[in-house]
Amino acid sequence: MSKQKRSAEDFAEEVRTHLALEADELRAEGLSPEEASRRAHVEFGNVQTANERFYLRGRIQWLDSIMRDLRYGLRSLIHSPGFAITAVLTLALGIGANTAVFSVMNAVLLRSLPVNDPTRLVYFRTSNPPRRTGTISSSETFSYPVYQALRDQHPGLANVIAYVPLSVNKVAVRYGSQPEEAEGDMVSGAFFSGLGVKLPLGRGFSEQDEKDHAPVAVISYNYWTRRFARNPGVLGTTLYVNGIGFTIVGISGEGFEGLEAGGSADFWIPLQNRPELNAYGNPLDEGKAYINNPTWWCMRLIGRLSPDVNKQQAVAALTPLFQRAAYIGLGSPMADEKPLTLSLEDAKGFPGYSEQYGRPLHMLMAMVGFVLLIALTNVVMLLIARNATRQREFSMRLALGAGRSDLLRQLLAESLLLVTAGGALAWLFALLATRSLASWAQIEASLAPDRTVMLFALITLVVAALLFGLAPLRLALAAGPALSLKTSAATSNSEAGRSRAARIMVALQMTLCVVLLVGAGLLIRTLRNLENTPLGIRVDGLVVFGVNPHITSVPQGKAFYVDLIAKLRELPGVESVTVMAERLGSWWSDNSDMTVDGRLPDVPNGSSRTVRSNVVGPGFFTTIGVPILAGRDFADSDTETSPHVGIINEQFAKRFFPNRNPLGHMIGTDDGRYQMMVVGIVKDHKYRSIDEEPIPMAWYEYAQIPIAGKMDVELRVHGDPLAILPAARKTIQQIDPNLPLIKPMTQRAQYNLTISSQTLFARLAGFFGVLAVVLVATGLYGTLSYRVNRRTAEIGVRMAMGAGRSQVVWMILRDSLVLTVIGVIVGIPLAFAIGRALSSSLYGVQPLDIVTYSLAILGVTLVAFVASAAPATRAASVDPLKALRTE
């Protein structure tokens, strides 16, 4: 249909004609020419405006009508505040939860390191380190000689970079006079240049800095912001690390917080060789720091692939070099030792996060996805219910000449309002939720939502807006203009198709609800099991803190702890005191092979020879409350000069002394250098974490072992364990005023940290389960109430025909029970699949846990009953006469 577009001039001409004709007519009625012309103008109104409106007709009309639609939509939403609030809150919760979980996932799993071309970065991995070595992670850490060899010769790689933290947690630093703690790494000279980290201020390190072990430091953007308020004047000033001065020479780019898994480095220094700055803050091992100790594999290595080289090629080129370098300083491989393998792993994301959080986060994402699905169907059902009652309004509008596109626009406008309000609220909710998620999960990397997260939220919102606009449209149009003329509620609302759609949605919600409840149930039961797992320790009344005295020699260290233990024992309320090299329940353990009576014990083929060991003080087992099954505890009388003694656990005795009495036998380190006599056997107990299986363990007496540096002090006290801390702090400061208590907490809290991710996971799953239940209940309630309302007439007729109230109630209840049964039948296999996927996160509960499934089914049935109760009661109280009169 092609028509000539009418010109504005033509329209203006028509308006002039109109004014002339009007004036003619008025003159004919007896007015003076001037008066007639004036009146004609007045009657017409603003001529200019009319011309403008003609001109803008095609252009501004849509904007104008959108504004009108929005105003209209707003008014109609205000008229039904219950609906509007429910819909907006539902949306906010659904979308907010998704955005929050997604932004954590984005930060942790999806985001790339803020370095140059992260896709070409690779971590070094090995199958197993050589025998007689100690590692931080048996597949991920390497010794300094290995690094040195690969740094000097690295075919296939542009460069090789090493880094190692100065401490397990934080290291003592001082800026000015204030002692404090910070996280710091020692890194190779190519760290910043090789990774391609931008330094907005100052410089990075050079090869020369590494060679000289230069006293220079780069601080992170975050630390610069937090500690120095972004003062550029910090460049050139001195930061003392463990008492050694480092000149700050650079500030790293925003967002770069190092490569340590889960940590966020505050500063970096070049690799050092001083004893005070050993890797991981460890005391020297036989006088050797990490840098001249080929048996301590503690450094992580990262490399950048050369252009045009892929991982396989690089591995092939590097492997011979690596296999040679691995045995530098170790002698030749033992006869039965398998050849070492080298592999390279993509390093584009944040290290360690995907192992730690990958699975839980994917599961959480699936759960919140279900919640979102429930939330969306809920709002759709509410909208359909609401718009069905508005069918006459739509009909009337169609009858008055509104086009289908007008109706669509109006529905979209209303949906847009809902979604905008819901989205704004969701964003707020997501920001809060993300922050608490991060603090619960102890993720220190920046979780601030970035563009990806915003895009995610926006796409969700747009999909929701379209869905909400389009879903009710069919209904509105189905009404047709004729419907406005029908007056019977019964006839205008009995289309079977619509109620089928609603029923399918309710059944779908029930299905998702079952799945979520089962998931939540399994995880909560897991948490319960973990919390109720006996530790094998009398954990109440124990408090623990670390001390890191400035010690230059082993005898000085021993004297420090003897003195400290004696002083702490005298504090009122203290029952007993001991020390340990590795804190209980800190996820940390020293693993190695041990000799029994001078040789490595035979073990049935394939099974492990690994023994966990710890170095502890006198009265250790008495203090932590572990029963001694045979022999004795360590005592003050065990000293460097007395016979060296050790204590083992039941597992050790069972595995390495089958059918023998271990007391009096000798056990020792795998290199045979250190031997001790077994004087005690203690009951198995939890050592590293709550969910561990017992493994063979051995304990050394600290006075008899040539190490002395940082130790953790364990106190058993009467009353509130934390109340002793001020007195303990005072005692320590009397010895050395600069010593802080490191991470003081109750031993129970320390153990609970080992299940913090399970706790978080279970709590969140529980929260989403409850959310699902609430959403499903409101959705079902809304749908049922609406249907009962629509069926008032039918119910009236039934009752007039003699149906009893209980029959009416049953009619409504049966409806929702049928839907529940369908939901359960579909939901159970789905839940089973989810349970299987979760199985690695479960503890002490089977994926097909009858109790959990029964509770979940009971839960949805209850929801169905509760949500149906009110509508059913209302149906039963229908007065047949009144119901029929409304016809």
Verify binding: residue 276, another protein, rule CB under 8 A: no
How far is the C-alpha of 106 from the C-alpha of 112, rounded, in Å?
Answer: 9
According to CB under 8 A, which residues from 477 to 536 bind another protein? 481-482, 484-485, 487
Verify binding: residue 886, another protein, rule CB under 8 A: no
Other beta carbons less than 10 A from residue 63's beta carbon: 10
- Taking the least distance from each CB to another protein, the nearer of 64 and 495 is 64
Q: Give, in order, the Cα–Cα distances in Å from 4 to each of 7, 10, 11, 59, 724.
A: 9, 12, 13, 17, 93
Verify binding: residue 658, another protein, rule CB under 8 A: no
Verify binding: residue 55, another protein, rule CB under 8 A: no
Kindly give, in sequence order, each residue whose CB lies less than 8 Å from that of residue 438, ignoring residues fewer than 6 positions away.
104, 444, 447
How far is the C-alpha of 97 from the C-alpha of 769, rounded, in Å?
Answer: 12
**Region near another protein per CB under 8 A, out of 8-16, 770-778, 831-839, 846-854:** 8-16
Kindly give, in sequence order, each residue whose CB lies less than 8 Å from that of residue 883, ignoring residues fewer than 6 positions away.
792, 793, 795, 796, 797, 799
CB of 382 to another protein, least distance (A): 25
Other beta carbons less than 10 A from residue 34's beta carbon: 9
Closest of 401, 418, 405 to residue 70, by C-alpha: 418
By the 8 A CB rule, do 87 and 415 touch? no
Phi (first) and psi of residue 449, to 5 degrees: -60, 130
Kindly give, in sequence order, each residue whose CB lies less than 8 Å from that of residue 595, ignoring residues fewer than 6 positions away.
601, 667, 668, 669, 670, 672, 675
By the 8 A CB rule, do 318 and 156 touch? yes
Verify binding: residue 400, another protein, rule CB under 8 A: yes
- Taking the least distance from each CB to another protein, the nearer of 4 and 641 is 4
According to CB under 8 A, which residues from 694 to 753 bind another protein? none
Beta strand pairing call for 675-682 and 628-631 = antiparallel
Verify binding: residue 820, another protein, rule CB under 8 A: no
**Region near another protein per CB under 8 A, out of 38-46, 434-442, 621-629, 858-866:** 38-46
Verify binding: residue 402, another protein, rule CB under 8 A: yes
- Taking the least distance from each CB to another protein, the nearer of 20 and 462 is 20
Q: Which of 2, 9, 34, 45 lies at the binding interface for another protein (CB under 8 A)? A: 45
How far is the C-alpha of 703 from the C-alpha of 559, rounded, in Å?
Answer: 9
Q: Which of 176, 401, 658, 664 lies at the binding interface for another protein (CB under 8 A)? A: 401
How far is the C-alpha of 247 from the C-alpha of 228, rounded, in Å?
Answer: 15
Positions of E strands within 758-879: none
CB of 528 to another protein, least distance (A): 60
Verify binding: residue 261, another protein, rule CB under 8 A: no
Closest of 119, 120, 123 to residue 137, by C-alpha: 123
CB of 6 to another protein, least distance (A): 7
Tokens describing residue 22? 């009007």
**Region near another protein per CB under 8 A, out of 125-133, 365-373, 392-400, 535-543:** 392-400
CB of 2 to another protein, least distance (A): 12
**How much of the chain is helix, strand and coil, in % rounded to 5?**
55, 15, 30
**Dihedral (CA of 111, 115, 119, 123) sign:** negative
CB of 405 to another protein, least distance (A): 13
Closest of 836, 856, 854 to residue 846, by C-alpha: 836
CB of 222 to another protein, least distance (A): 55
According to CB under 8 A, which residues from 66 to 95 bind another protein? 68
- Taking the least distance from each CB to another protein, the nearer of 3 and 451 is 3
By the 8 A CB rule, do 457 and 465 touch? no
**Region near another protein per CB under 8 A, out of 395-403, 442-450, 775-783, 819-827:** 395-403
CB of 50 to another protein, least distance (A): 4
Verify binding: residue 46, another protein, rule CB under 8 A: yes
Count of residues in contact with another protein, rule CB under 8 A: 33
- Taking the least distance from each CB to another protein, the nearer of 6 and 211 is 6
Q: Which of 31, 38, 39, 44 lies at the binding interface for another protein (CB under 8 A)? A: 44
Verify binding: residue 432, another protein, rule CB under 8 A: no
Verify binding: residue 38, another protein, rule CB under 8 A: no
What is the CA angle 293-294-297, rounded to 5? Answer: 95
**Region near another protein per CB under 8 A, out of 50-58, 530-538, 614-622, 808-816:** 50-58
CB of 430 to another protein, least distance (A): 38
By the 8 A CB rule, do 373 and 854 touch? no
Kindly give, in sequence order, each residue whose CB lies less than 8 Å from that of residue 463, ignoring residues fewer than 6 positions away.
none
- Taking the least distance from each CB to another protein, the nearer of 43 and 346 is 43
Q: Which of 53, 203, 348, 550 lies at the binding interface for another protein (CB under 8 A)? A: 53
Q: Which of 31, 38, 39, 54 lies at the binding interface for another protein (CB under 8 A)? A: 54
CB of 68 to another protein, least distance (A): 7
CB of 5 to another protein, least distance (A): 10
- Taking the least distance from each CB to another protein, the nearer of 141 and 484 is 484
CB of 371 to another protein, least distance (A): 39
CB of 28 to another protein, least distance (A): 9
Q: Each residue of 510-533: b (16+ CB within 10 Å) or e? A: bbbbbbbbbbbbbbbbbbebbeeb
CB of 399 to another protein, least distance (A): 5
CB of 887 to another protein, least distance (A): 13
Residue type at position 562: V
Q: Give, in order, the Cα–Cα distances in Å from 736 to each of 166, 182, 547, 583, 731.
A: 22, 20, 11, 22, 9
Q: What is the largest CA-CA distance in the chain?
A: 135
According to CB under 8 A, which residues from 10 to 29 bind another protein? 11, 13-15, 17-18, 20-22, 24-25
CB of 54 to another protein, least distance (A): 7
Verify binding: residue 50, another protein, rule CB under 8 A: yes
**Region near another protein per CB under 8 A, out of 41-49, 159-167, 380-388, 515-523:** 41-49
The conformation of residue 273, written as its DSSP 8-state character, comes to -
Q: Which of 7, 32, 49, 608 lies at the binding interface for another protein (CB under 8 A)? A: 49
CB of 72 to another protein, least distance (A): 8
The conformation of residue 830, written as its DSSP 8-state character, comes to H
How far is the C-alpha of 616 from the C-alpha of 173, rounded, in Å?
Answer: 27
Verify binding: residue 410, another protein, rule CB under 8 A: no
Residue type at position 829: P
CB of 35 to another protein, least distance (A): 18
Q: Which of 33, 57, 804, 886 lies at the binding interface for another protein (CB under 8 A)? A: 57
3-state secondary structure of 280: helix
- Taking the least distance from each CB to another protein, the nearer of 46 and 846 is 46
Q: Which of 43, 597, 671, 879 lies at the binding interface for another protein (CB under 8 A)? A: 43
Closest of 739, 653, 750, 646 to residue 694, by C-alpha: 653
- Taking the least distance from each CB to another protein, the nearer of 12 and 470 is 12
Kindly give, in sequence order, each residue whose CB lies less than 8 Å from that of residue 570, ignoring residues fewer than 6 positions away.
none
Q: Site residues (CB under 8 A) for another protein?
A: 1, 6, 11, 13-15, 17-18, 20-22, 24-25, 43-46, 49-50, 53-54, 57, 68, 396, 399-402, 481-482, 484-485, 487
